Chain A
Amino acid sequence: MADSKIIKSKYFFEEDFTEELAEVSANKYADWNKKELKVVGKPVSRVDGYDKVSGSAVFTFDVILPNMAHAKTLRCPHPHAKIKRINTKKAEKIPGVLGILTYENAPKISWYGKSFLFDPHLRYEGDEVAFVAAENERIAEQALKLIEVDYEILPFVTDAAEAMKKDAPKLYDDGNIRGGKPSVYERGDIDKGFEEASAVAEQTYKTQVEIHNPTEPHCSVVNWDGDYLTIWDSTQGVFSVRDRVADVLKLPASRVRVIKKYMGGAFGAKLEAGKYTVMAALLARKIGRPVRIALDRREMNLSVGNRPDSVQKLKGGATKDGRLTALYQYSYGAAGAHPAGAGCSWALRTMYLCPNVKTEEYTVYINAGRARPFRAPGHVQGFFALEALIDELAEKIGMDPLEFRIKNHTDRDQVFDAPYTSKLLLDAYRVAAEAIGWKNRPQPAGSDAGPLKRGIGMSSQIWWGGGGPPAYATLKLNRDGSVRIIAGSQDIGTGTYTILAQVASEVLEIPMEKVEVLLGDTAVAPYCGSSGGSTTAPSVSPAVRDAAEQMKAKLLSGAAAHLNVSESQLVYRNGVIHTKGKNKKSMTIREIARKMGERVLVTTGKREANPDGYAINSFGVQFAEVEVDTETGKVSVKKIVAAYDIGRVLNPKTLENQIHGGIIQGLGFALFEERIIDRNTGKVLTTNLHDYKLPTVKDTPQIDIRIVSKGDSKISNTGVKGVGEPAMIPTPAAIGNAVYNAIGKRIKSLPITPDKVLTALQS
């Protein structure tokens, strides 16, 4: 038992493939039968729920250390500038100011490839100019106002199309197009494909910049103990932060500890070490005190990430009988001022069966905050365009849009030419179409009488979300028979604490109350990847099962030794081990643990390798029902039906949370949310939650969730695929198509605001 080997592991994480060596488990366990499970798959309440409703949960934002100083950041007020001169003398003289960092006195630390932690070349409104630590935030803010900066104002560009032009102001010497050329993908021959088509649709779709805006601000508290640095960080990846900070501060990773217990959301914006964390560490060392830095909402809307915008020119061809013959995408999106991904073509490459495909994507630098992965990066934008094009093509050939999609269903991944481990999308289509009443939608589009016009639209979805190794979990058996799981993953609000406890509780057949989960601490936990890409549950839950199954084997071995019988004579049931037959002898877990004296039983579980030769993806569909007020242009989403193949559901309660949350975010992206930059000044106009419109409770539609999958045993011993991102991907596209169905006019750019609806109605 406890076999393991080291492999080269490769799987998709957020925007690209990750590849690293991983020690994987070679242990095989029986597939879980849903009917026999007692804890996994049940609507267990969150184990961290008490802390969160009682107010006792300590988020990074709430960490208070003795003698802690508070920091604030001076940010560039211009979209593009160079610092000619900076003078901090007046600011330093304010009582209570403890230290100030600028490019003049800070170490030159490389950041974003071509830039620095403090770079006198400031490329966007919000770029870091100085960092102040003081006795409290108020004093730090006063100090910022007294720092004198002489800026050389440079020409700026805040629009990707403008930035691609030859004479545009340059952010970097080698131009504004990342890598100097588009990223191209091609299969088959699209010219041939379009020749074979009897109908061709060609259209340009646009999506806006969206800001993550998690409720908890980006925040770090740092403390030096000699040359040992501890960082409490609001992060999705404790190891990612540890490694980056150790690298740039030239410390052994063993001298940096990153802790994250509770976090108020992230959605991709907290996947890497922030500049602010490193700045705080530098100043903390200098002033000899702990430093807390919490960004404010304005900074969060300027500087710590966004979903890049997109302009997507799509062309698709189909035969009369509904076979896709060619798909083409030319697109560009703004990375912001520093390298980031702005691609969005995976939807078109992978969703439907099509032999001839070509995509050309440009990622463009502009003078604005840098993009970061945001819940299904690329897919949310890509699906809005692709699914609109699919609907337009279906209409051209006179086919039901659902039937058209079914006709172009594929059981194989066409990019990697591999079968999917599982794909139950056709089931999802069927149950969701019935639930929304697809047959009763207005036909033709716009035929509802109004003035409140009803419409129904749909969108398919594909995402990665199979996760993979490396992911490790340690399980410790305590002397009282309770266990502790320790894993270097993190619960970013999704319920990781709860689902991992469920897995251990299931295997060891002990109550949830006897399982404690410790996550998010690099000093004590074995490595797990960052919490992103919908990979946490599919990567970490199998490691926990492996650890728990190994523990069960140890317990059987221990009981056999104590009872003087062979293991084959023993049965494990409800946390008690007893002999078969008459004259039963038995031992509880607690009794075995106590017999071990001071020896604590420990196992380390490992995520097994993903199966060779398969593509692992999640699938789903959403149908949206909307009501469009043709007098005001306001769109109300009445109902969303969401049906998914996401492997095994570990906890229907946390699943429901994830899907609701994804849909509401998708609704916000479809109808309200948008970062707006004034093109004349290059300044962001939407830097608070009044101007940047998040959905409220009043915008919430009725949501009907259908899960068509039971568990994908080809992937792992828990058979889980992630659901965080799939929940959001199809929502904007389904709403867009529903609006078309309601009014018979297509809004080709997001968000679908009343002005766009009214303009379309009058066209």
Chain B
Amino acid sequence: MKKINIRFKVNGRQADLNIAPNKRLLDVLRDDLGLTGTKEGCDIGECGACTVVLNGRAVHSCLILAAQANGAEIITVEGLTQNGELHPLQKNFLEHGAVQCGFCIPGMLLSSYALLKENPHPREDDIKEAIAGNLCRCTGYKQIIQAVEAAANENNE
């Protein structure tokens, strides 16, 4: 299979890649760029563990070919932390006990991040809608909702 050249920005840094055209964005992030914070849980866009933000929208990186992301701006969980400071979402997830095993958390964070960018004053139902595609098998969801609410309040102060 002939490889193709693509370039996109991940967490503010330019990535120039020469990859097989059938690679998913998830594979490129994890295998080529070593960004293993993005997880794979189901392979068909049902669990949300692979969620990243692409041009401002939360997307399943397991359902997108890397080539489709050519020229895009991508944010992964590794890009939420700025200068060693946790993003308010990360900080509140930690403080509100929104984490157990943690495998779903990167996806949860990025779905929430995209929500707050679009809607800085989300109601509880908006938060539920935003993370309804992110499955958590151990925490339960209440603490996650509280963490997103708290982060929104902090952002708005």
Contacts and interface: CB of A to CB of B under 8 A. Distances in A.
A522 to B, nearest CB: 21
Interface in A29-56: 43, 45-46, 48-56
Contacts of B72: none
B47 A215 contact: yes
Contacts of A689: 41-42, 44, 46-47, 135
Nearest to B102: A52
Interface in B99-157: 99-106, 109, 127-128, 131-145
A464 interface: no
B109 A53 contact: yes
B140 A660 contact: yes
Contact of A265 (B37, B128, B137): B137
B86 A215 contact: no
B51 interface: no
Given A265-B101, A495-B100, A215 B49 contact: yes
B25 to A, nearest CB: 15
A64 B36 CA distance: 10
Interface in A705-746: none
Contacts of A280: none
Contacts of B101: 214-216, 262-265, 492-493
Given A45-B94, A58-B36, A657 B100 contact: yes
B128 A215 contact: no
B81 to A, nearest CB: 5
Nearest to A495: B100
Nearest to A694: B135
A50 B100 contact: no
B81 A213 contact: no
A663 B140 contact: yes
Given A657-B143, A688-B46, A297 B103 contact: no
B42 A297 contact: yes
A114 interface: no
Given A216-B101, A296-B43, A493-B100, A53 B94 contact: yes
A354 to B, nearest CB: 34
A115 interface: no
Interface stretch (A72-80, A166-174, A695-703): A695-703
Interface in B29-79: 30-31, 34-44, 46-47, 49, 76-78
Contacts of A493: 100-103, 138
B85 to A, nearest CB: 11
Contacts of B37: 54-56
A665 interface: yes
B105 A53 contact: yes
A661 B138 contact: yes
Q: Which of A55, A56, A64, A694 has the most CB of B within 10 A?
A: A55
Given A49-B99, A59-B103, A215 B143 contact: no
A352 interface: no
A58 B104 CA distance: 13
Contacts of A631: none
A53 B138 contact: no
Most A-side CB within 10 Å, residue of B22, B105, B133: B105
Given A215-B39, A216-B103, A264-B101, A697 B141 contact: yes
Nearest to B144: A697
A690 interface: yes
A61 B38 CA distance: 11
A54 B77 contact: yes
Interface residues of A, number: 55
B137 A214 contact: yes
B41 A700 contact: no
Contact of B132 (A217, A660, A696): A696
Contacts of B106: 55
Contacts of B99: 46, 49, 52-53
B100 A700 contact: no
Contact of B140 (A57, A267, A494, A703): A703
Of residues B131, B134, B136, B140, which shows the largest number of chain A Cβ atoms within 10 Å of its Cβ?
B140
A650 to B, nearest CB: 14
Interface string A239-283: 000000000000000000000001111010000000000000000
A216 B39 contact: yes
B76 to A, nearest CB: 7
Interface in A450-506: 492-495
Contacts of B132: 696-698
A49 B89 CA distance: 13
Interface in A95-142: 136, 138
B36 A52 contact: no
A545 to B, nearest CB: 23
Nearest to B129: A698
B41 A657 contact: no
B135 A696 contact: yes
A101 B105 CA distance: 36
B100 A661 contact: yes
Nearest to B39: A61
Contacts of B39: 59, 61, 215-216, 264
B16 interface: no
Given A62-B36, A216-B39, A698-B128, A657 B139 contact: yes
A659 to B, nearest CB: 8
Contacts of A656: 97, 143
Given A215-B41, A656-B97, A700-B141, A55 B77 contact: yes
A331 interface: no
Contacts of A64: 34, 36
A426 B145 CA distance: 33
A688 B34 CA distance: 27
B145 to A, nearest CB: 7
A48 B99 CA distance: 9
A664 interface: yes
Interface in B9-35: 22, 30-31, 34-35
A297 B139 contact: no
A653 interface: yes
Interface string B80-103: 110000100011011101011111
A654 interface: yes
Contact of B137 (A663, A694, A697): A694
Nearest to A703: B142
Contacts of A698: 128, 132
A343 B101 CA distance: 29
B120 to A, nearest CB: 20
Interface in A130-160: 136, 138
Contact of B86 (A54, A57, A61): A54
B136 to A, nearest CB: 7
Given A215-B47, A696-B135, A55 B76 contact: yes
A496 B89 CA distance: 24
A263 B134 CA distance: 18
Nearest to A56: B37
Most A CB within 10 A of own CB, among B90, B100, B145: B100
B143 to A, nearest CB: 7
A469 B16 CA distance: 55
Contacts of B102: 48, 51-53, 57, 59, 262, 264, 493
A657 B140 contact: yes
Contacts of B35: 55
Contact of B139 (A43, A49, A660): A660
Report, nearest first, the 8 A-B pairs whose CB atoms are least far apart. A55-B37, A493-B101, A660-B140, A264-B103, A52-B102, A55-B77, A62-B36, A689-B46
Interface of A: 43, 45-46, 48-59, 61-62, 64, 136, 138, 213-217, 262-265, 267, 296-297, 492-495, 653-654, 656-658, 660-661, 663-665, 688-690, 694, 696-698, 700, 703
Given A657-B138, A661-B100, A689-B46, 15 more contacts: A49-B93, A50-B86, A215-B47, A263-B101, A264-B104, A493-B101, A660-B142, A660-B143, A689-B47, A689-B135, A694-B137, A697-B132, A700-B141, A700-B142, A703-B140
6 contacts: A46-B97, A53-B109, A296-B43, A493-B101, A690-B46, A698-B128
